[in-house]
């Protein structure tokens, strides 16, 4: 955690670490892992809400907990930009981090590939590998998606690659 800003460090230390090393093919152990994932997500969401930093909603899209969907948003210049968020849990999870997808941003930045998957290779994936199996979905959102949104969304907005929903609505009315 050396070199991290104090806010990131503080946030990360409040997200519970996971202990069960199990993936989708591991039966009852996967069920235990999912319970830990939910506890960590609830803790992270509660912490964000208490700090007035609510920025995502996700839930399992199937009973097995292998497909997740939701929304994430980023506020830039006092405007809220909201995006669909989805990802699958890899069969090699937790050794392999999930690939977070923002499909509507596909092709709008070089830091994205194959259908809107955000590129986390350089910084996040080595960190994930070092912390396997302690990191989970909440950690991927905190250390992967949050900094990606903070780095990319202002650039995409300022370059005109994405528009605010109100700008799109007013231009279609004219």
Q: Which residue has the higher pLDDT, 165 or 62?
A: 62
| The pLDDT value given to residue 173 | 53
CATH superfamily of 6-166: Ubiquitin Conjugating Enzyme (3.10.110.10)
Query: What SS3 class is residue 33?
Result: helix
Is residue 5 over pLDDT 90?
A: no
| Catalytic residue status for 132 | no
Domain ranges of the chain: 6-166
Catalytic residue among 72, 119, 132, 142: 119
pLDDT confidence band for 165 (50 / 70 / 90): confident
Q: What is the pTM of this model?
A: 0.90
Is residue 168 over pLDDT 90?
A: no
DSSP state, residue 58? E
Mean residue pLDDT across the chain:
90
Q: List the Cα angle 138/74/85 in 5-degree steps.
A: 50
Is residue 104 over pLDDT 80?
A: yes
Q: How many other β-carbons are positioned within 10 Å of the β-carbon of residue 32? A: 15
């Amino acid at each position: 955690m050396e070199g991290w800003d104090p806010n990131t460090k503080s946030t990360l230390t409040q997200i519970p670490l996971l202990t069960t090393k199990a993936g989708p093919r591991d039966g009852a152990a996967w069920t235990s892992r999912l319970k830990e994932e939910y506890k960590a997500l609830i803790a992270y969401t509660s912490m964000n809400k208490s700090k007035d930093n609510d920025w995502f909603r996700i839930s399992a899209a199937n009973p097995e907990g292998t497909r997740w969907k939701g929304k994430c948003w980023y506020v830039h210049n006092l405007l809220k930009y909201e995006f669909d968020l989805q990802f699958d849990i890899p069969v090699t999870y937790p050794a392999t981090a999930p690939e977070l997808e923002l499909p509507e941003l596909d092709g709008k930045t070089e830091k994205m590939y194959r259908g809107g998957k955000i590129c986390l290779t350089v910084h996040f994936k080595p960190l994930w590998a070092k912390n396997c199996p302690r990191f989970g979905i909440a950690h991927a959102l905190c250390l992967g998606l949050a900094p990606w949104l903070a780095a990319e969304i202002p650039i995409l907005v300022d370059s005109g690659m994405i528009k605010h929903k109100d700008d799109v609505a007013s231009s279609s009315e004219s």
